[in-house]
Amino acid sequence: MANDISNLRKFVSPEIIFGAGARKSVANYVRTFGSKKVLLVSDPGVVAAGWLQDIIGCLEEENIDYFSFTEVSPNPRTDEVMLGAERYLEQQCDVIVAVGGGSPMDCAKGIGIVSANGGHILDYEGIDTIDLPIPPLIFIPTTAGTSADVSQFAIISDQVDKVKISIVSKAVVPDVALIDPETTLTMDPFLTACTGIDAMVHAIEAFVSTGAGPLTDMHALDGMRLIHQHLPDLVADTADLKLREQVMLGSMKAGLAFSNAILGAVHAMSHSLGGYLDLPHGLCNAMIVEHVVDFNYRDAEDRFKVIAETLGTDTRGLSSNQVRQRLVQQIIDLKERVGLTQKLAASGVSKTDIPWLSAHAISDPCILTNPRRSSQRDVEAVYEEAL
């Protein structure tokens, strides 16, 4: 009898050090890899917040040589990746440490790919396209949302074609993630809300993904619960380290879930939107999420019911349609409580942009694990609802 492997699931994750002060072990991990020189990848916002200097202090204390590369945009661009790879090689670095949100981390992954494999970063679009192992990656996230620090995704903006490309590979799972809630204390309420909603969407999409399994489900549900419970209070009081810790833990769990179960139509549509308009990724997700949930509901009713219950709805005695309405309202309420209520039209999207956005969304790898099969026309209809 042939073995049925359709129910097998793999689960990849970095070595994770979680908790206040985790970042301070960076030099220890650099030493573990026998590094002679570190490429530090960060961006101007993180530099201004003081976190890069904080990490440099940790390296200097241990006499570790480094070179800083901070020319990274909020949505990292192909030319920045190429420049970073050039710097990595000419400075003869052998380990990459990224300090920042999703942008420096995704850029660092791109730099690792190109420095080891050559060619152009666009050559590696898609799933499992990387041949040679990339340099060790040590990531220190300063936002609680993107989860690039635990995921097998790298998202890079192609400024020429105005699209975001997705690279999905075990090769870009960082070796070490130093997840330190203290580094998120410098995020303002808007960024806290954007990254928190991004993490919430990671958890929701991972739970209903066709790639979901028992190893991802527990992380997805726990991530949802933590974020739903603590994010609104955190946006109201961004200096509360206990709340920071809970949201960062929720974000990390959502990251472990989506990295392994992959995502769905919200992210496919959001990547298309972010590439086109250069908007914050979390905001793009926020503008689309309830419309996609509404669209997908009929193809994953049982799973969406569990999500509604996890977010606090008592579903006993409710019809399927009532559960759907209740869940959509819960998502809208959460967005309102964190102040993310703007629509696509207010962000500069017009009806004439929708065919272009939809054509790109439908070719994004994230659409492949969406629970409901979607045609381009379906995607257009969802964008139109979100206007």
The reported pLDDT for the residue numbered 20 is 95
d(CA 235, CA 208): 27
Structural domains in the chain plus CATH codes: 15-184 (3.40.50.1970), 187-386 (1.20.1090.10)
Tens digit of pLDDT for each residue in 45-94? 999 999 999 999 999 999 999 999 999 998 899 999 999 999 999 999 99
pLDDT in single tens digits along all 387 residues of the chain: 455 556 778 899 999 999 999 999 999 999 999 999 999 999 999 999 999 999 999 999 999 999 999 999 988 999 999 999 999 999 999 999 999 999 999 999 999 999 999 999 999 999 899 999 999 999 999 999 889 999 999 999 998 888 889 999 999 999 999 999 999 999 999 999 999 999 999 999 999 999 999 999 999 999 999 999 999 999 999 999 999 999 999 999 999 999 999 999 999 999 999 888 888 899 999 999 999 999 999 999 999 999 999 999 999 999 999 999 999 999 999 999 999 999 999 999 999 999 999 999 999 989 999 999 999 999 999 999 999
DSSP 186: G
3-state helix, strand, coil in the chain (%, to 5): 60, 10, 30
Give, for 65, the enclosing helix (H) or strand (E). Answer: strand 65-69
Q: Report the sign of the C-alpha dihedral through residues 214, 265, 297, 369, in that order.
A: negative
The reported pLDDT for the residue numbered 197 is 97
> Quick one: DSSP state of residue 96?
E
- Other Cβ atoms closer than 10 A to 103: 28
Residues 6+ apart with CB under 8 A from 68: 40, 42, 52, 56
Phi-psi region of 62 (alpha: psi -120 to 50; beta: other; left: phi over 0): alpha
Cα–Cα distance list, 174 to 139, 141, 203, 208, 366 (Å): 7, 12, 20, 25, 20
168 and 109 in contact (C-beta within 8 Å)?
Answer: no
Give pLDDT tens digits for 365-374: 899 999 999 9
